[in-house]
Chains A and B, each alone.
Chain A
Amino acid sequence: MKDLIIKIENPVLDIKNLSISYNKGKYAVTNVNAGVKKNSVTAIMGPSGCGKSTLLRAINRMHELYPNIEVKGKIFLNNNDIFLMSSIEIRRKIGMVFQRPNPFPTMSIYDNVIAGYKLNGIRLKKNKKDEIVEKSLKDVVLWNEVKNSLKKKGTFLSGGQQQRLCIARALAFKPDVILLDEPTSALDPIATKKVEQLLIKLKENYTILLVTHNMSQAARMSDYSMFMYLGELVEYGKTKKLFINPVDKRTEEYLTGKFS
């Protein structure tokens, strides 16, 4: 058993005995135990319906937006139980990027980046705002492309640019962890490559947890990989080891394309 799930020392995020059920009794995630290493990219992969997105969305408590979803177990962020904090606070500390780019269509690029501050009613001085916008957009390598059109609507950007804008929006709060739910599935290969390079660069300052159904993406860019199947965390280890030498038979079958 021990070989299947790697033990992470001093995890930034620690998931303990986590189970998630829909409509009383239908389990989407069963008894997951995993730590997430600071300043790394950790990929969660598995066939569709394996519970990887459900798991990810529990980490910033997005599941609470919908009725009839029950979560058992605990999640710790820097040793603090996230379920004891307010959902507002936790979501500011754990940023999220979604499958399809979703900049706020009624806001300018500039306002999109500082949307988190605006939504939280935090008033900033103009130069402080400018600073955050510039820094965040530089972090996502979008600054040069948009610096002259900050007042334009975010929806005028290309899909890849929009997704980087959404990452910038998540970064503006300097979160401890960034959750990404298949962030490149709606993008073309070139835009995908840019986002991947960006994420690898971002791990210097952030901890990144990435859901993907694309094995090669996990192999290319992650340091650690989880493989989930039917709601269970089957195997979790260093990406190189997991891909070259999987322990569980199901992991091996998945990686060799027996099912997807």
Chain B
Amino acid sequence: MSEKITKIILFIASFIIVIISAGMVLSLMSGAAPAFKEFGFKFIISTEWNPTEGKEQYGALQFIAGTIITSIIAIIICLPLAFSTSLFIGEYFRGTKLAKIIGTMVDMLAGIPSIVYGLWGFYVLRPLIVDLGFNAQGFGIITAGIILAIMIIPYATSISTEIIKMVSNELKEAAYSLGATQKDVIMAVVIPEARSGIFTSYILAFGRAIGETMAVTMLIGNTNIIPKSIFDTGNTMASVIANQFGEADGLKLSSLIAIGLILFVITGLINGLGKIMIKQFN
């Protein structure tokens, strides 16, 4: 009897998360409905963002583009750094105190609130961009991309470090016994063995970058255009919601929610892909 009740309680609890998720999708869809009804599929491919009453016209393409571009820049910058850090912790200095310290510091990067990254980006990174002459104000895609790169490093590092650590010693020894140097072993044994794990951690990091809000909002420059170069300003899906939500109602609010829905779907797809990949090598 008690067993049955316990099982029922557990089941009901588990159902809560299903309801929350389903409710999220439904709420976003119903909130986005007016925008999609008004603009149809054009919402996704239009770059118009005009809140003037009577001429209201909204499209999300520039935000989708801004999001993808900043995230790609972030992952490109993050890649050599995170990969080197994984090799540092998981291969070169594996098990040493130094590796532990570096690992802890990388973990600390994950603990810094997004808004603090934004501040640091604003006061330290942005002036640097100005000094380098990339951009007069220092705001823009590249500034946001660099900050995002730092923010996603812990996510890109954690799984790949574990996977690199797991590469069997027997294989590495086999390669050494053939006269390989450590670099050869990394290139010919460690990377091929760990590649799906490494790739997965970058996918998950990319998913993180796409949804980051505050730091990007503070640095990207907030213009509703498709950036023509990495030194241009722009907006991401998350940053436009953060920026314009306060003064939004009616069709504009619905459009922002529609952008939220697109963001939800994109991150869901990317994380789903990452999860499938994790399952594959488990």
Contact = CB atoms under 8 A, between A and B. Distances in A.
Contact between chain A and chain B defined by CB under 8 Å = yes
B247 interface: no
B178 A102 contact: no
B179 A102 contact: no
Contact of B178 (A65, A105, A106, A120): A120
Interface in B165-186: 168, 170-181, 184-185
B48 interface: no
Contacts of A170: 177-178
A104 B176 contact: no
Interface stretch (B4-12, B33-41, B187-195, B271-279): B187-195
A106 B192 contact: yes
Interface residues of B, number: 19
A69 B120 CA distance: 46
A52 interface: no
Central interface residue in B171, B180, B181, by most chain A CB within 10 Å:
B180
A115 B174 CA distance: 10
Contacts of B170: 98, 100, 102
A240 interface: no
A105 B176 contact: no
Contacts of A91: 176-179
Central interface residue in B175, B178, B185, B192, by most chain A CB within 10 Å:
B178
Nearest to A106: B192
In the A-B complex, the 3 residue pairs with the closest CB atoms: A96-B177, A106-B192, A116-B178
22 contacts: A60-B177, A62-B176, A62-B177, A65-B176, A91-B179, A98-B173, A98-B174, A102-B170, A102-B171, A102-B173, A102-B174, A104-B171, A104-B174, A104-B175, A104-B188, A105-B171, A119-B179, A119-B185, A166-B174, A169-B174, A170-B177, A173-B179
Interface of B: 168, 170-181, 184-185, 188-189, 192-193
